[in-house]
Amino acid sequence: MKKLTLIVLSLLFVQMAKGQFDEGCLPGKLMVVAENLNFREKPNTESRIIGQLTNSELLTLIEIHENKENFYWNTIEFSWVRVQRIQTGEIGYVFGKYLKTPEMAYLNYHDTDRIQKGNWYGIYQEGGKVKIEKTTPKISGLDEGFSSIIGSNEKHKILICSQDEIKEGEMNSQILENDREYLKIGIQKRLVRIGDFEFSLVCTGEVELNPPSLIRKNEKIIFLTTEIDGSRRHYVQQDLSDCISQFGEVGYQIHFAGDLNDDGIPELIISEGTTHGGNVYYFRSNKEGKLELASITGVSSKC
């Protein structure tokens, strides 16, 4: 059955328009989260300090300096980062531990040790509708050895910090709360319909039997946009595979799909496996109608 599903999905993608987007999936802007952060000429602590950065200052990401011992696309926290100061245009290096993206999404009670400055909103479900409203976040459990973030109301399932204002009220969206349903190889998950467009996530790849377990190879996550034109269907796909650091043990869990910025493309929040067992990824749509990685949060990153 799995082989048949994979064959069907493969044929589907062969028929699709070649709509792949070249996308690095790294945020374009980074925010300083330290006071008087050293801004250096080269990527090491012995290099000349060319200035000091202020808390909440915004920087433009140029590149991550390759750390040959532990380099992946999303290891900003453990690498030197080449950036440009928006205020002065100066270019230099800072250590990624003291940077994060200016827009973030958290699941309620997700592990974190700091609160970011910005406009905070809580997303919740009420009367069969998904709604969003302003909230005031706080850190819970600081004295218990495990700190997590919560909104001002327990009904808030998801928290969003944005530098832009988000319209409050009902949303064209879904909160997906079934912990037993995961996006796995060979599965297509319909997310939401907005106007004449349907949006789905498709997971493809190969499963190899290696007793006593299965080995997953060549995994891909595809964001599939289907335009409905009468009886015809037009498909555009965007490969998000390079945005995900690793496949969760039980697959990807989809938590939210909804149009936060009211542009007709849903924002996505997914995680690797369980809520506290893996990273949480927040994908935001941009002006070109593509998804871009807005933030990544997880136990290991302490975002």
Q: How far is CA 274 from CA 4, 129, 179, 183, 249, in A?
A: 28, 25, 8, 12, 9
Are 252 and 245 a contacting pair, CB within 8 Å? Answer: no
pLDDT (tens place) for every residue of the chain, 303 residues total: 444 444 334 434 333 333 222 335 667 788 898 889 999 999 999 999 999 999 889 999 888 876 655 544 446 777 899 999 998 999 999 998 888 888 889 988 888 777 888 899 999 999 989 999 999 998 887 566 677 888 889 899 999 999 889 999 999 999 987 767 788 888 899 999 999 999 999 998 887 777 777 777 788 899 999 999 888 999 999 999 888 766 666 788 899 999 999 999 999 999 887 655 568 899 999 888 889 888 888 644 443
Decide: helix, strand or coil at residue 75.
Answer: coil
Sign of the torsion angle spanned by Cα atoms 296, 166, 179, 224 = negative
CATH number, domain at 66? 2.30.30.40
Examine residue 58 and state whether it is found in any structural domain, yes or no: yes
Examine residue 228 and state whether it is found in any structural domain, yes or no: yes
Are 94 and 53 a contacting pair, CB within 8 Å? Answer: yes
Question: 291 and 186 in one domain?
Answer: yes
pLDDT, position 71: 46
pLDDT, position 67: 60
Question: 219 and 150 in one domain?
Answer: no
* Domain final position from 136, 171, 206: 171
Question: 109 and 33 in one domain?
Answer: no
pLDDT, position 144: 64
Question: 210 and 293 in one domain?
Answer: yes
Range of the domain at 84: 29-100
Examine residue 86 and state whether it is found in any structural domain, yes or no: yes
Question: 157 and 41 in one domain?
Answer: no
Examine residue 22 and state whether it is found in any structural domain, yes or no: no
Question: 156 and 95 in one domain?
Answer: no
Q: Total structural domains in the chain? A: 3
pLDDT, position 53: 95
* Domain final position from 70, 100, 130: 100
